[in-house]
Amino acid sequence: MSWIHDRDFVRAVEFPADREDLTGPVNLAAPAPLPQHMFMRVLRSVWGVPVGLSVTKWMAELGAFALRSDTELLLKSRRVVPGRLLEAGFAFDHAQWPETAGDLVRRVRDGPGLTG
């Protein structure tokens, strides 16, 4: 599963704008994708939720129908890495999922209006 911290996302969008040598498509994803079950295990751990239930295909289809979406968006994924960004020297502030998940959970728990 590919992911990216919101602050790295903004910085990665701005990064090519300041460079003439980086044109065309650029993948916006952290450099360390991981399996979805590991992504959720870490997120549950930092959130303090000891157990997670698996979602079946029919549950995903029901949710996608309710959201007027496509189950393919939920059931399939691509391993995306930011090769061109890294080659151009972009440095991620949040490159590993456990630390990123902890930061995001702290920000949600601290409430709106706080920066940092």
Within 13 Å, how many C-alpha atoms sit on residue 61's CB side?
3
pTM for the whole structure: 0.79
What is the per-residue pLDDT for 58?
85
Residues 93-109 have a mean pLDDT of 96
Question: From residue 9, how far is each of 3, 6, 22, 60, 94 by CA, in Å?
Answer: 10, 5, 16, 27, 10
Higher-confidence residue of 77 and 85: namely 85
